[in-house]
Amino acid sequence: MKQRSDGATVLLGMPEFVVGAQLKVGRELWLMVETTADVVGCEGCGSRAVGHGRRRVNVRDLPLADRPVVLVWAKRLWRCPDPDCAVGTWSEEVDDIAPRAALTERARAEICRLVGEAGHSVAQVARGFGVGWHTAMAAVRDHGRPRVDHLSRLGAPRALGVDEHLFLAASAEHPTLLVTGFVDLDRHRLLDVVQGRTAQGVSGWLAARPAPWRAAIDAVTLDTYAGYARGLADGLPHAQLVVDHFHAVRLANAALDEVCRRVQQETLGHRGRKGDPLYRIRRQLLVAHERLTERGWAHIQTGLDVGDPAGEVGAAYLAKELLREVYATRSPRQARRRLERFYAHCRSAEVVELRRLATNRAPLGARDPGLAPHRAVQRAHRGHEPTDQEDQTDRPRLPQLRELSPPAPPALRRRMAHSTSRTNQRPPTTLGRVEIP
């Protein structure tokens, strides 16, 4: 190779290759690579092979500094010099690239990780790597599968996640394609992906797992899609179903929005218009409390004073914040207390949407737990004590909306945003004055 680049060779980090020229082709970085092997024996007879030319193959690799990378591999062809040997010619192989592959193995593993763990869509990841959707999807399948095969070696997770992924956005040629991913929540690994988003997909996948593996799972997180709940009821009748953080908070936001619309209609007799007090604060109500400015919070309170005479919207806002508080702790004990406080608030508020939120039977079907969000809470709840009974002996003091602390001042928020410590991302002021009994 004429211009060998030692820097790029080190950067590439594939010991079998050296990098020669580098080209920028559009957004892509093309690296000319070749192996260093020059003495090779014939596998059939052991004779020293002779060169038989090269063939250029393009293989895509991990992006470098956000640029898709193409390895242009001048692949050596070898020939056995012994006319009696059956081997004839062959092309060289390396561990990192499967024969005829369009992607390096590490790129394929990364695609699987991005889709399975980081939750990117296949279409998005495929674009980032400059490959087609089917190539990326094959990587997800191949690198997800072996984990399934090794389930017994890894042991069953105690918590399983079931979630939909968008694998292909709708276009003129095809409808939106959804798949269902199964995630080992203990080890944060994607276990498998099945097509579609159906109860049968979930129950069928579970039915194919060994019985002891299924028996070990005691909690499953899912979104609020009723089909998943049905599939899990069939496949894992003993496990507790848990609506995950994202979806639980989304439900609380939806309840808040519903209360807002209803109160708007009841008080003013029409749908929200520019200038109506609740309409003016509708967006701010959905903002995380600690992210509000002090002015924003004052704005909300003014809007509620005028537009929410019975305090129903205020109660829904507080419910949303109380639910978010549940997820803001790592202590199972504290999470449980906060969850009980959230339930008690929803039950005692004279707001039909909050009652529904606390029981939440409707969207999930009769078997479902409603909002039982924190996995740690789930563990703490095992032992089958009914939550209602506990409440009577250990009734949390219910917070009032006015007790919400003012949002963190901008300077504090800025500091937190730049803070390298990730252990306490929330301001200590949130709900600070509401003591946990």
| List of residues contacting Zn ion (CB under 5 A) | 42, 44-45, 47, 80, 82, 85, 87
Neighbours of 234 (CB within 10 A): 14
Q: Which residues contact 302 (CB under 8 A, 6 or more apart)?
A: 277
Structure token pair of residue 415: 């500091």
| 93/117 with CB nearer Zn ion | 93
| 80/107 with CB nearer Zn ion | 80
Q: In angstroms, what is the minimal distance from the CB of 50 to Zn ion? A: 11
Q: In angstroms, what is the minimal distance from the CB of 422 to Zn ion? A: 59
Nearest CA-CA partner of 323 in 345, 294, 306: 345
SS3 at position 103: strand
Q: In angstroms, what is the minimal distance from the CB of 34 to Zn ion? A: 23
| 90/213 with CB nearer Zn ion | 90
Q: In angstroms, what is the minimal distance from the CB of 39 to Zn ion? A: 14
| 51/309 with CB nearer Zn ion | 51
| 10/39 with CB nearer Zn ion | 39
Half-sphere exposure of 149 (CA within 13 A, CB side): 6
Q: In angstroms, what is the minimal distance from the CB of 5 to Zn ion? A: 35
Q: In angstroms, what is the minimal distance from the CB of 42 to Zn ion? A: 3
Structure token pair of residue 55: 């063939």
| 85/268 with CB nearer Zn ion | 85
Q: Where are the alpha helices (DSSP H) in 269-398?
A: 277-285, 294-307, 312-327, 332-348, 352-359, 375-381, 387-393
Q: What is the CA radius of gyration of the chain?
A: 29
Q: Which residues contact 324 (CB under 8 A, 6 or more apart)?
A: 249, 252, 288, 289
Nearest CA-CA partner of 59 in 41, 42, 71: 71
| 45/170 with CB nearer Zn ion | 45
Task: Provide the CA 74 distance to its chain's centre, in angstroms.
Answer: 39
Q: In angstroms, what is the minimal distance from the CB of 81 to Zn ion? A: 8
Structure token pair of residue 293: 């400015």
- Max Cα-Cα span within the chain: 97
